[in-house]
């Protein structure tokens, strides 16, 4: 870890940022906003992309498959951290920035022109996933460099404040993507947007790429790295020095399980899962959902700066870990409150008309299909797939082996069917009949097909979304400064990038598909929240016990 000076400070006084340094911070942050914009377009459009590229499987599996493709970009982020982190510690921050932005921008543009499943068949989703992997590699090299670059320009005592601008870039990138999507939807209409207009936000990225490359070309190398390179004290083998040395590897592990894992699940629950929950579970119109999320993000964004600055005074650790704890305690009531205000008819139906699936448990699968090849055709799976699609809570009741599953909806019972070995035409006929019967039953029980816009309390829903964003700003605002301060300059880019991207790429990136799969398996639309709750709570405990405060370390060491 970087060392603490005798006075607890890296210098004798805290100087303000110069005009040139402010320009560097602005340019670095703005380029990162554009990179996050590119990366998050896919997440914002997952429902449409599921129909465009994964139409060869059933609708429930298609959406989960689309989320897995979204998560694929996160899965490779740690590998991007290793590749570009090593490059950044060997040759410098500036040149690594240029490579990552070019890779990200080109991959995003190609998604915009990629033919759909209807045109290219299985080749279309394969290429889509390859492009997502390229985006993930680029982003894996972006964040550590941006955070390191900004921190190494910041005066001591203000690192939390200045690096918090980098922390706003992910939210601002998401916000920008939502604005472009909303604007396109309004201008061309929903039908055209679903058919072809969804490509426009991806194609716009080529303009942002040009701006970003120009901005990155204006940057100078980090003065800390430049001096270290001139003195010949930079690492010749960053990977070995970072992960082959137990003293440093131990800090990497603690940074992961005691900081970034919890930070990641809080971040993705508060922004992406909240959006998916609104649109997929509560059936809120996507435009309305995006507007509410965008408003919550816009109001909440300044708190990244507030908590980053506060961490310069009271420390990074208490703010991050308290954010994890409060989030873990508040998720169930908050998401139930969102249901209450965004789709009160669904909440009322869950209370007045409880649903039970009576089935042989051996025929009930965990409908999480990362390769999109499994066919869920047992009577239990068919029943649960329908209920998950309609966001109907249900209880499970075991039946004797070989029993065809049935669904109790209030006083009505609907029998499912076994699709094993049934010819395609007959399967369709049976499924259409089952779907029609189920639709009538759930409609009669009061379960809405969509959230009624007239019943949505937009103000209160946005307030609850804003509270989720506040948790995000608490855990995310100070994290860049803390990670930078945990590692020495010569291996900082590599060492901090890996735990950050394992935490955010794996724990965070796989959160949406995992939570939806858990909810579909258990029959409770809120049960997926246990995933972020358990991880955030574990991070709080581990972080409190084993992670050191870093705000007074000397990052020049």
**3 state SS for 419-440:** CCCCCHHHHHHHHHHHHHHHHH
Which residues, 6 or more positions from 201, have their beta carbon under 8 angstroms from its beta carbon? 41, 45, 112, 177, 180, 181, 184
Measured torsion, CA atoms of residues 80, 81, 87, 92, in degrees rounded to the nearest 10: 120
Which residues, 6 or more positions from 537, have their beta carbon under 8 angstroms from its beta carbon? 262, 324, 325, 328
95 pLDDT above the threshold of 90:
no
Cα 202 from Cα 499, distance rounded (Å): 29
Q: Which residue, chain included where needed, has tokens 């960053």? A: 238
Give Cα separations from 26 to 126, 162, 169, 222, 482 (angstroms): 37, 10, 11, 14, 20
Which of the four pLDDT bands, split at 50, 70 and 90, describes residue 529?
Answer: very high
Closest among 332, 346, 330, 341 to 459, alpha carbons compared = 341
Contact by Cβ (8 Å): 117, 446: no
Domains of the chain: residue spans and CATH: 3-11+18-343+453-554 (1.20.1250.20), 348-444 (3.40.30.10)
One-character DSSP codes across 248-288? HHHHHHHHIIIIIHHHHHHHHIIIIIHHHIIIIIS---HHH
Which of the four pLDDT bands, split at 50, 70 and 90, describes residue 545?
Answer: very high
- Please tell me whether residue 553 adopts helix, strand or coil conformation: strand
Q: What is the pLDDT of residues 224-263, one digit of tens each?
A: 777 777 777 778 888 898 898 899 999 999 999 999 999 9
Average pLDDT over residues 469-478: 96
Cα 188 from Cα 495, distance rounded (Å): 46
Which residues, 6 or more positions from 436, have their beta carbon under 8 angstroms from its beta carbon? none
Closest among 184, 188, 176, 207 to 40, alpha carbons compared = 176
User: What mean pLDDT is reported for the chain?
Assistant: 86
Cα 266 from Cα 268, distance rounded (Å): 6
Q: What is the pLDDT of residues 150-166, one digit of tens each?
A: 888 888 888 999 899 88
Supply the pLDDT for residue 15: 58
One-character DSSP codes across 175-205? HHHHHHHHHHHHHH-HHHIIIIITHHHHHHH
Which of the four pLDDT bands, split at 50, 70 and 90, describes residue 557?
Answer: low
Supply the pLDDT for residue 61: 60
Q: Which two tokens stand for residue 330?
A: 């508040």
Supply the pLDDT for residue 489: 84
Half-sphere exposure (Cβ direction) of 391: Cα atoms closer than 13 Å: 24
Q: Which residue, chain included where needed, has tokens 């500036």? A: 94
Q: Which residue, chain included where needed, has tokens 């980053």? A: 308
* Burial environment of residue 230 by CB neighbours within 10 A (0 to 12, 13 to 18, 19 or more): exposed
Supply the pLDDT for residue 17: 62
533 pLDDT above the threshold of 90:
yes
Residue 412 CA, distance from chain mean position: 40
Q: What is the pLDDT of residues 2-58, one digit of tens each?
A: 544 333 344 444 556 677 667 777 777 777 787 778 767 877 787 788 788 877 655
**Residue 412: strand pairing partners:** 409
Supply the pLDDT for residue 20: 66
Q: Which residue, chain included where needed, has tokens 């965008």? A: 294
Supply the pLDDT for residue 9: 44
Q: How many CB atoms lie within 10 A of CB 243?
A: 17
Who has greater pLDDT, 509 or 307? 307
Percent of all residues in the chain with a pLDDT value above 90, rounded to a whole number: 40
Cα 187 from Cα 175, distance rounded (Å): 18
Who has greater pLDDT, 3 or 196? 196
- The C-alpha angle 555, 36, 214, rounded to 5 degrees, equals 80
pTM, to two decimals: 0.83
Q: What is the pLDDT of residues 335-383, one digit of tens each?
A: 999 999 999 999 999 888 889 999 999 888 776 554 444 567 899 988 9
* Burial environment of residue 20 by CB neighbours within 10 A (0 to 12, 13 to 18, 19 or more): exposed
462 pLDDT above the threshold of 90:
yes
Cα 193 from Cα 71, distance rounded (Å): 24
111 pLDDT above the threshold of 50:
yes
Q: Which of 24-33, 42-51, 499-508, 522-531 has the highest mean pLDDT?
A: 522-531
Give Cα separations from 502 to 252, 525, 539 (angstroms): 11, 27, 14
Supply the pLDDT for residue 512: 77
Cα 437 from Cα 439, distance rounded (Å): 5
Cα 146 from Cα 352, distance rounded (Å): 52
Supply the pLDDT for residue 304: 95
Who has greater pLDDT, 380 or 212? 380
Reported as type and span, the H/E element at residue 228 is helix 223-231
Q: What is the pLDDT of residues 256-287, one digit of tens each?
A: 999 999 999 999 999 889 988 999 889 999 88
Supply the pLDDT for residue 64: 63
Supply the pLDDT for residue 546: 96
Supply the pLDDT for residue 278: 94
Q: How many CB atoms lie within 10 A of CB 541?
A: 15
């Amino acid at each position: 870890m970087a060392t603490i000076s005798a006075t607890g400070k890296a210098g004798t006084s805290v100087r303000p940022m110069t005009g040139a340094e402010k320009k560097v911070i602005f340019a670095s942050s703005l380029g990162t906003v554009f990179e996050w914009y590119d990366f998050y377009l896919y997440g914002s459009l997952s429902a449409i992309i599921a129909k465009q590229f994964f139409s060869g499987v059933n609708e429930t599996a298609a959406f989960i498959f689309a989320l897995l493709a979204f998560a694929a970009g996160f899965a490779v982020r740690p590998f991007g951290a290793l590749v570009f982190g090593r490059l950044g510690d060997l040759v410098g921050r500036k040149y690594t920035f240029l490579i990552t932005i070019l890779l990200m921008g080109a991959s995003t543009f190609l998604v915009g022109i990629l033919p759909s499943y209807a045109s290219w068949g299985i080749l279309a989703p394969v290429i889509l996933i390859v492009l997502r992997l390229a985006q993930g590699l680029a982003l894996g090299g972006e964040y550590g460099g941006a955070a390191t670059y900004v921190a190494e320009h910041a005066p001591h005592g203000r690192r939390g404040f200045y690096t918090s601008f980098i922390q706003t870039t992910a939210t601002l990138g998401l916000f920008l993507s939502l604005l472009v999507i909303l604007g396109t939807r309004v201008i061309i209409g929903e039908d055209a947007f679903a058919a072809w207009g969804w490509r426009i936000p991806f194609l716009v990225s080529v303009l942002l790429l040009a701006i970003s490359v120009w901005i990155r070309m204006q940057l100078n190398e980090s003065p800390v790295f430049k001096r270290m390179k001139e003195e010949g004290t930079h690492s010749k083998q960053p990977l070995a020095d970072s992960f082959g040395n137990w003293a440093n590897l131990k800090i990497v592990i603690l940074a992961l399980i005691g900081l970034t894992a919890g930070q990641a699940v809080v971040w993705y629950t508060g922004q992406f899962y909240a959006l998916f929950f609104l649109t997929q579970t509560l059936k809120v119109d996507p435009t309305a959902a995006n507007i509410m999320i965008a408003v919550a993000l816009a109001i909440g964004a300044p708190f990244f700066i507030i908590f980053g600055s506060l961490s310069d005074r009271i420390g990074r650790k208490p703010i991050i870990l308290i954010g994890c704890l409060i989030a873990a305690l508040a998720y169930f009531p908050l998401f139930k409150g969102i249901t209450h205000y965004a789709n009160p008819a669904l909440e009322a139906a869950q209370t007045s008309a409880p649903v039970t699936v009576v089935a042989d448990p051996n025929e009930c699968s965990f409908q999480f299909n990362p390769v999109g090849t499994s066919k869920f055709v047992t009577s239990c799976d068919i029943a649960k797939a329908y209920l998950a699609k309609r966001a109907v809570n249900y209880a499970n009741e075991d039946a004797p082996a070989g029993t065809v599953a049935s669904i109790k909806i209030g006083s009505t019972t609907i029998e499912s069917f076994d699709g094993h070995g049934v010819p395609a035409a007959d399967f369709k006929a049976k499924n259409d009949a089952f779907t029609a019967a189920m639709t009538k039953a759930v409609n009669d029980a009061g379960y809405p097909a969509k959230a009624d816009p007239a019943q949505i309390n937009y103000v209160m829903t946005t307030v609850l979304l804003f509270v989720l964003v506040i948790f995000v700003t608490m855990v995310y605002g100070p994290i860049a400064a803390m990670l930078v301060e945990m590692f020495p300059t010569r291996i900082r880019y590599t060492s901090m990038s890996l735990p950050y991207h394992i935490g955010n790429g794996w724990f965070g990136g796989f959160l949406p598909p995992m939570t939806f799969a858990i909810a579909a398996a258990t029959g409770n639309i809120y049960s997926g929240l246990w995933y972020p709750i358990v991880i955030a709570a574990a991070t709080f405990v581990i972080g409190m016990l084993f992670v050191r405060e870093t705000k007074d370390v000397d990052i020049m060491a």
